[in-house]
Amino acid sequence: MATAVSTRARYLADFATREREGALERPSWLGPLRRAAISTFAEAGFPTTREEDWRYTNLAPLAQMPFTPVQTHEPPELSGTTVARLGIEGADWPRLVFVDGRYARRASTPTRQTLADGVRISSLADAMQADAGHGDGARLERHLARHAKPDGNVFAALNTAFVEDGALVEVRADTAASQPIELVFVARTPGVLAQPRILVIAERGSRVTIVERYVALVDDAYFTNVVTEVAIGPGASVDHYVVQEQSVRAFHVATLHAAIERDGSFSTCGVTLGGRLARTTLTAEFRGEGGAAALRGLYVIEGTQHVDHHVTVDHAVPRCTSRQLYKGVLDGSARAVFNGRIVVRPDAQKTDANQTNKHLLLSDGVEVDTKPQLEIFADDVKCTHGAAEGQLAPEPLFYLRSRGLAEPAARALLTYGFAREVVERIAPVPLQAYVDRQLRALTERLLQRSDRTAVEAAPSTKENR
Amino acid sequence: MNTTDRTIEALANREYKWGFVTDVAADTIPPGLDEDVIRLISAKKSEPDFMLEWRLRAYRHWSKLERSAGEPKWANVSYPPIDYQKIVYYSAPRREGSGLASLDDVDPKLIETFDKLGIPLAEQKRLAGVAVDAVFDSVSVATTFKEKLAELGIIFCSFSEAVRNHPELVQKYLGSVVPYTDNFYAALNSAVFSDGSFCYIPKGVRCPMELSTYFRINTAGSGQFERTLIVADEGSSVSYLEGCTAPRRDENQLHAAVVELIALEGAQIKYSTVQNWYAGDADGRGGIFNFVTKRGKCAGRRARISWTQVETGSAITWKYPSVILQADDTVGEFYSVALTANRQQADTGTKMIHVGKNTRSTIISKGISAGRGNNTYRGLVKILPRASHARNYTQCDSLLLGDRCGAHTFPYIEVANASSTAEHEASTSKISDEQLFYCKQRGLSGENAVSLIINGFCKEVFKNLPMEFAVEAQKLLGVSLEGSIG
């Protein structure tokens, strides 16, 4: 505990230093928000498993490690070959690259030329330097840190207190961005704390697709604490993807908040393959009638990886639709936590909400803790949820073997098929192909280990875990 | 407002017909709780030393809890703070002389009370074929059919009698499933419990009749803290029923019971409850706080424990009948209908703890919310690493009647064994206009249509109740919903 306390003290000291340097007031309107956020963090500290939202996820290892932001003000550089490696085959869309949480201008696509009128992407640091109170500055002020509230979410608070860089995507009214916009976050330095911030503003009737990717150049411990805010105007539509391939020694905490205005539509799909501890806190908030949200996730994890999803859909207004599909494949001693909460507030009539959460358990050491919650205060609603944890069914396995597939191949195919349901809903073709390749390789690797026999035969060795 | 609106309204504004008070001379101790009160309760019941020791240990644990964390706050219910020093912890109808030789010695007013409640205690009604232990405030007033059961070696008596006559069984099993350290209310109950039922079914005996306990709170300002312990020895089986009512009063009364079930190898216990404590009036004044700990342990292989509950009463229900599936091949079941009308709150569900291999559990929960009622299902399915091939199926459905009520589901599913399977399904809906239209078009009145649909919604649970209870439960549901169907 002592270390956790001193880690907290270090964050507070960092904040005090920045305050002395006058960094908090850049831009000036952010100062009070930062101060409020840091006091939330100072009060709460890192959550413990005694808190309901963190019941199954122990943050002690994270709270004990002294992660620090990059100590240099030099703009980050990446070699040409590295930059080339970062791309996805066939994806020639605009890309912003961040290294250890900071914008790498030269590694990014020069965006001005490639984008349609009315679509603007820039680094958040650049955007924040813009004149406050006018045009861009005013829009930023209206949205940044206004959606992902720091109260109740210590990590969002920490990010807000230190927000410095990240990405800003703005799409003007009735404009469709012709190509997905890709944001690649590269981890390069061990022990680094990166706190990128992403803000997506989709104005009335606009459309845009955002792809967030997290890649590691180093197989070591580091900590990414990202906050993504998506403001979806009336009738606007945002498709959002996250592919997280952090190092299996890294900590990844993500907060995603989508505020959906009247008739707006939001979809997100998170593919989690990396991280020692990966936590996603996702909130979809309906602010006007007729909104739609589709939230999907896939995690394929092994070893001692720990993946935690906390999803809240807030049906605050009538006539909105939400769909959730979360699937997990667990091997080794991996652990998955899923907490899906559907709230239907009083008078949010005609709500249609559904949620599905399924886990495939490949090994006897895994653990799944799932909690699909419904909180309903209106009567004319349709709400369902379903959860299932289990292993591969014997019948399809038998069928495939009768067709001549060896058992490992049959298992790999069925596991791939289980995960495929999420992957096939990824719309951008190069991205789907990329995830599909990763998935295929992973399932084959997981299942072709020679020591894997039928789970039934495994002796129970973990009686007193 | 259409017919159904009016029907629901009418259902919600039902009268509580069990709300009368029986005027009997009572032996009541002053309100308040300290070690002396516990010694007094124990002395009044002439208990052996081990019981007093146990009570005092429980009391010390409870007062430690009360000073530190206080009562549990995680449940989805809200109520004003309870002053534990204002509760009467012991109240018994006064009796002349010592002990009861037969039912004839029971105060006729008490017999009358139970008759009014439809509980046959008198000899001539024994044809009903259900053995009843009747508990009035703090003590058991009569147990029927004792001799007949004794012929088979079945012990069915009040808890006080069991402590006196079968201390070895009580000492062996008391607190073995719900230790006094389990939770705040279990600790309180362990310290002050006054009576309850005890039941022991010997090896290989199938209990020939339903055993039943009827609980009645009568004295104002008193709390009821009863304790039930059922032990089914190897290869035996028993079906047990529990019913409860209380007078209507403007104040809240506390009911904190503990039920422990132990099923040894091959034994089966079926425990059914129709809970109809006074629920308070339409504005939420009065009513019973029903904070109950119920848990069964399948201690031997192939044991089976089944809970069925129909919860229609109480201002607040806080209750999670659970099963510890300790041994291999054991089975746990939970069937529940919980209804909240007016301003009732229920936070109820179950825990299924899979420890042994090939253990199976089924959870069927039906929640009905009407008026301004709030109904929460809270359940835990925990499959431990050793529990290979464990199987769970959970279904919790909610029906909402009216737009000011709430239905909530908080299931916890913890699986740590890859060869096991857990499934959970939940849905929330209202009675659709199409369903109503269809029934009405077939000539049913709005009220009957709604009642038909609700009974259909609860059918899976009702079919697990013993027949007499099922009929009673259906009627109760109708009465409880009177005026709230819209």
Is the CB of A370 less than 8 angstroms away from the CB of B413? yes
Q: Comparing A407 with B7, which gets the higher pLDDT?
A: A407
Helix H or strand E segment including B451: helix B446-462
What's the pLDDT tens digit per position in B13-33? 456 666 667 766 677 788 888
| A460 → closest Cβ in B388, B405, B410 | B388
What's the pLDDT tens digit per position in B130-146? 667 777 766 666 666 77
Overall residue count recorded for chain A in this entry = 465
Rounded to the nearest 10 degrees, what angle do helices B49-67 and B35-44 cross at? 150
Q: Which of A302, A371, A389 to mutate to test the interface with B (most CBs of B within 10 A)?
A: A389
What's the pLDDT tens digit per position in A305-354? 999 999 999 999 999 999 999 999 999 999 999 999 999 999 999 999 99
- What residues in B contact A389, CB-CB < 8 Å? 413, 415, 420-423
- pLDDT average, residue stretch A41-64: 89
**Does pLDDT of A457 surpass 50?**
no
**Does pLDDT of A260 surpass 90?**
yes
Q: Is A194 within a domain?
A: no
- Per DSSP, helices labelled H in A115-230 are 124-129, 135-143, 154-162
Closest chain A C-alpha to B173 CA, distance in angstroms = 25
What the block records as the tokens of B292 is 């109950």
CB A187 within 8 A of CB A250: yes
% of chain A with per-residue pLDDT over 90: 61
- Tell me what pLDDT residue A451 has: 46
Q: What is the mean pLDDT of chain B?
A: 84
CB B227 within 8 A of CB B215: no
- Residue A363 CA, distance from chain mean position: 26
3-state secondary structure of B104: helix
% of chain B with per-residue pLDDT over 70: 82
Q: Is A422 within a domain?
A: yes
**Does pLDDT of B2 surpass 60?**
no
- The count of structural domains within chain A is 1
Q: Is A237 within a domain?
A: no
Q: Is A323 within a domain?
A: no
Q: Which residues are within 8 A (CB) of B326 and not within 5 positions of it... i.e. 6 or more apart?
A: B297, B298, B299, B355, B356
Choose the most confident range, by mean pLDDT, from A285-299, B158-172, B237-251, B302-316: A285-299
CB B241 within 8 A of CB B312: no
Q: Is A368 within a domain?
A: no
- Tell me what pLDDT residue A461 has: 35
| B418 → closest Cβ in A366, A384, A387 | A366
Helix H or strand E segment including B107: none
State how far the Cα of B65 lies from the Cα of B392, in Å rounded to an integer.
34
- What residues in A contact B422, CB-CB < 8 Å? 387-390
Q: Which of B357, B405, B417, B421 to mutate to test the interface with A (most CBs of A within 10 A)?
A: B417
- Tell me what pLDDT residue B291 has: 92
Domain containing residue A423? 393-450
- Residue B124 CA, distance from chain mean position: 28
Q: Which of A376, A381, A392 to mutate to test the interface with B (most CBs of B within 10 A)?
A: A376
- pLDDT average, residue stretch B376-394: 95
| B407 → closest Cβ in A376, A384, A388 | A376
In B404-433, the residues whose Cβ lies within 8 Å of chain A are: 404-430
CB A447 within 8 A of CB A411: yes
How many angstroms separate the Cα of B126 from the Cα of each of A12, B105, B145, B266?
76, 17, 8, 30
State how far the Cα of B345 lies from the Cα of A219, in Å rounded to an integer.
52
- DSSP E strands: which ranges in B125-206? 130-136, 139-143, 155-158, 197-201
State how far the Cα of B310 lies from the Cα of B346, in Å rounded to an integer.
12
Residue in chain A lying closest to B433 (CA): A380
Q: How many helices (H) and strands (E) does chain B have?
A: 11, 24
- What residues in B contact A358, CB-CB < 8 Å? none
Is the CB of B422 less than 8 angstroms away from the CB of A389? yes
Q: Is A417 within a domain?
A: yes
Q: Comparing A82 with A298, which gets the higher pLDDT?
A: A298
Give the pairing type, strands B406-415 and A367-376: antiparallel
Q: Is A415 within a domain?
A: yes
- Residue A185 CA, distance from chain mean position: 12
State how far the Cα of B395 lies from the Cα of B49, in Å rounded to an integer.
46
Q: Is A435 within a domain?
A: yes
Q: What is the DSSP string of A208-260?
A: EEEEEEEEESS-S--EEEEEEEEEE-TT-EEEEEEEEE--TT-EEEEEEEEEE
**ipTM of the complex, rounded to two decimals:** 0.84
CB A298 within 8 A of CB A271: yes
Helix H or strand E segment including B380: strand B374-383
Is the CB of B403 less than 8 angstroms away from the CB of A359? no
Q: Which of A360, A294, A355 is nearest to A327 (CA)?
A: A360
- DSSP classification of residue B53: H
What the block records as the tokens of A177 is 């961005």
- What residues in A contact B326, CB-CB < 8 Å? none
